[in-house]
Amino acid sequence: MIRYPYQRNPIIEEEKNISYSNRGMDFENAVNISNNYYREEDIAIIYKRPTPIHIVKVDYAHARIKDAYFEKQSTTDYNGIYKGRYIDFECKETKIKTSFSFHNISSHQIQHLEAVLRHNGIAFFLIYFSLLNEVYLLDAKYIVDKYEEKKRQSISYQEIKTYGTLVEQAYLPRLKYLDAVEKVYFNETSKSHN
């Protein structure tokens, strides 16, 4: 199925998400509606970058795009600002229960995350184990280091459980991933955004 990356109705999406909750979560949508919540509550300003599109043909007379296709994101899916810090992260979903494969991470994304880390930004992955219904925040530096070991093709679930931080699922926000950001990057374990 092709996803429409510019879906614009978070309320309907949210309802859909609730009624289908027993079938597992629409991860991307869960992140998007969490960002809407964080923005509306003025907690953080984080947006999904639109999926890049390669335009092949334009109908100039009517200002319409008549042929185009989705391109691979060369950076990450999300960026923005939280408590004065630049935030940049990528969301990945896996159906494997025992590990997270590097197969879906592009070298461009690794380079981008390394650059963000060099410039003192906060960079991480949100990894969704769909069959376990668990989301972990894992610092980008951990993945970048393992990725560049070359001999490795994946990180085990146990490693992620050990070095990552479990993201609490809730109603508002759907994914309380900024609580995990607090724990990892701001050392505040007691504060909760709810």
The contact set with a second copy (CB under 8 A) reads: 1-2, 4-6, 39, 42, 44-45, 47, 49-55, 58, 60, 63-71, 75, 79-86, 88, 112, 115-116, 118-121
Shortest reach from residue 102's CB to a second copy, in Å? 22
Give percent helix, percent strand, percent coil of the chain, each to the nearest 5. Answer: 35, 30, 35
For residues 33 and 31, give the distance between their C-alpha atoms in angstroms, rounded to a whole number.
Answer: 6
Beta carbon nearer to a second copy, 52 or 161:
52
Shortest reach from residue 51's CB to a second copy, in Å? 8
For residues 75 and 110, give the distance between their C-alpha atoms in angstroms, rounded to a whole number.
Answer: 8
Shortest reach from residue 169's CB to a second copy, in Å? 25
Burial class (CB in 10 A: 0-12, 13-18, 19+), 120: exposed
Is residue 145 classed as helix, strand or coil in its secondary structure?
Answer: helix
Beta carbon nearer to a second copy, 120 or 187:
120
Tokens of 94: 């896996």
Beta carbon nearer to a second copy, 78 or 125:
78
Task: Return the number of other C-beta atoms located less than 10 Å from residue 159's C-beta.
Answer: 15
Beta carbon nearer to a second copy, 81 or 166:
81
Shortest reach from residue 131's CB to a second copy, in Å? 26
